[in-house]
Structure 1
Amino acid sequence: MTETKLYIARHGKTMFNSIGRIQGWADTPLTKVGEEGIRALGLGLKADGLDFKLAVSSDLGRTVQTITIAQREMGILGKIPYYQDKRIREWCFGSFEGMYDAELFSGVLPRISGIVDSASMSFEEIANGIYEADTAGWAETWDVLRSRILSGFESIAREVEKQGGGNAFVVSHGMTIATLADLLDPEDKKRLVLDNGSITVIKYENGKMQVESVGDMSYRQRGAEILAQSK
C-alpha cells in the first residue's frame, strides 16, 4: 500500500487577513493578491509532480475559493473527488468575529487569563479564554474544538487509505492547521503562525497522524517564479 499523506494548505489572503481582523466562522473573499498567491501555490505543487487522489476543503468560502484556484492551476479541477468538511473549519471566535486581532490578543485575552503576553499562551488557554469571554455563547470549548479538528483530518486520511493510500490536497485555516500540528507534536512548544498558501504535510500510518513538515512556503515560492517567467 502506498503511504498516505495530507498536503494541507492555508487558504489565500483574504480581505480580513489584509486589515488584521479576526476571521473564524465569519468569511471574506480572497483579495487579488491572495488569488495570485494561490495560483502560485497550485503551479508549485504541479511542478513538483505531486499526484493527488482526493481534494477536501472546509465549507467556508475562502477555502472553497482557494481549492478551486489551486486545482485549476494543477490541472486536476473536476478530475479527482472533492468534498467539503465543516470539521476542518477555522476556530469559532464567537462575538469577537471581525474584531481587530490586537484587541483580542493584546486586550481581551490578557484581561481574562491574567497572562500579560498572549503569545505565550497555549492553544488550550486561548480557547478557554475566548469561550469564557464570549457573550454570545457561540465559541467552542477546547474539548469540542480539539475533537472536531482531530476527527476531521483523520477522517480524510482514512478515506485516502481506503483507496490504497496516496496524497490528499486539503485546504483549511491558519489556527486550525497550527492546532493540529501542536496536538500531534506537543513537544514543540512554540505557537505556530502559518502564512497564507503554506503547506503542512501530515503522514498517516498505522492509524496515527504524524507531522512531517509545517508551514512550507517552497511550493508557493516556486510557483511565483514560474508566474514571473511567464509574464
Structure 2
Amino acid sequence: MATDLYIVRHGRTMFNTLHRAQGWSDTPLTERGQEGIRELGVGLRERGLSFHRALSSDLGRTILTMDILLSELGLKGEIPYTYDARIREWSFGSNDGVYDQDLFFNILPRIAGVDSMEEMTYEDMAKAIYEADTADWAETWEQLRDRLLAGIKELAEKMEAAGGGNALVVSHGMTIGTLLYLLNGQRFVVLDNGSVTRIRYEDGQFQVLEVGDLSYRQDGRKVLDQNQS
C-alpha cells in the first residue's frame, strides 16, 4: 500500500493577518483561523479518510492546528502524534516579523540582484535571507533543505515500513513550498492557510498529487452551515 502525506498549512495567525513574515517567531491562530481549520477537519472527515499517524512542526501554530484537526476527526489519542523541528518554517533571522512586502518584494530581490521575487527560486531566497540576517539566526540553504527532507522522509519511511496508509502533517507555507520545489522543481507557490498538499511515497519515491487544495475546507464549510440552519 502506498503512503499518502496530507500536508496542511496551519491556520491563519495574527502575523498572517498583518502580512508580516512569520518564521521561527510564533503568533497564535486568530478566531477565524481556528474556524478555518475546523472546516478542514470536518471536510476531511466527510471524505471518509482514515489517518494512521500525525506529525506537525514544533511551533505553536501548527500544534494548535493539529489539535483542532484531530478533535474534528475523532483521532485525539487514537493515532501516534509527534512534532518535529525539522518541518518548522524557515528562519528569517533578524528580518522575522518585518512586513511581507518589504522582505519579499524589496529586500530579497535587491540582495539577489533581480527585479522581482518571481525571478527567484527558493534556493535564491534562502541565500538572500542568510545574507540579509544581521543576528546570525538564519539557516543556510543546505541546512534548510537537508532538515526538511530528512523530516519528511523519516515519516514516509516509517509509514511504509508499517504497511503504508495516510499520514496527517501540519507545516508552514514556505516549508511546504520548498518541499514542492525540491520534489518537482515548482518555482514558487502561494498556499492558503488550511490548504492541503498531498504527496505520495512509494518504493522510495515521492510523487506530488495535489497542491494547495481548498476543496476539503469548502466541503467542511457546507456541512457546518447546514448544521447551523
TM score, norm. by length of structure 2:
0.98
Match runs of 1:166-181 below 5 Å: 166-181=165-180
User: What are structure 2's unaligned runs of at least 5 residues?
Assistant: none
Deviations, residues 69-103 of structure 1 (Å, cap 9, x unaligned)? 01101111111110001100000100011111011
State the alpha-carbon separation in 2 of the partners of residues 210 and 87 from structure 1: 20
The 2-side partners of 1:151 and 1:214 are apart by 21
Deviates more, 1:118-127 or 1:45-54: 118-127
Deviation at 1:116, TM superposition (A): 1.4
CA contact (8 A) 1:154 1:209 kept: no
Shift of 1:119: 2.4
Q: Distance in 2 between matches of 1:54 and 1:118?
A: 36
5 Å matches for 1:81-96?
81-96=80-95
Q: Which residue of 1 aligns with 2:106?
A: 107
Q: Which position in structure 2 is the counterpart of 1:141?
A: 140
Alignment of 1:217-228 (within 5 A): 217-228=214-225
1:197 pairs with one of 194, 197, 211: 194
Q: Which amino acid aligns with 1:53?
A: H
Shift of 1:120: 2.1
**Structure 1 residue 52 corresponds to structure 2 residue 45:** no
- The letter of the residue matching 1:30 is L
Deviations 1:7-47 (A, max 9, x none): 00000000000000010100001000000000000000000
Counterpart CA distance in 1 for 2:153 and 2:174 is 17
> Is 1:6–2:25 an aligned residue pair?
no
How does 1:121-140 map onto structure 2 within 5 Å?
121-140=120-139
Contact 1:45 1:74 in 2 (8 A): yes
Q: Using the alignment, how far apart are the partners of 1:119 and 1:16 within structure 2?
A: 23
Distance between the aligned counterparts of 2:110 and 2:156, measured in 1? Answer: 39
- Are the aligned partners of 1:105 and 1:118 in contact in 2 as well (CA < 8 Å)? yes
Query: How far apart, CA to CA, are the structure 2 residues paired with 1:64 and 1:73?
Result: 14
Cα deviation for residue 118 of structure 1 reads 1.4
Identity %: 57
Paired residue secondary structure (1:214): strand
Q: Distance in 1 between matches of 2:35 and 2:224?
A: 9
Q: State the AA in 2 paired with 1:108.
A: I
| Partner residue in 1 for 2:227 | 230
- Indicate whether 1:79 and 2:78 are aligned: yes
Shift of 1:111: 2.0
CA RMSD after TM alignment: 0.8
* Runs (5+) with no aligned partner, structure 1: none
**Residue identity in the other structure for 1:83:** T
C-alpha separation between the residues in 2 aligned to 1:26 and 1:9?
Answer: 19
Amino acid at match of 1:146: R
In structure 1, the partner of 2:210 is 213
Distance 1:122 1:100 in 2: 20
TM-score (structure 1 length as normaliser): 0.97
Give, in whole Å, the separation in 2 of the partners of 1:110 and 1:9.
Answer: 28
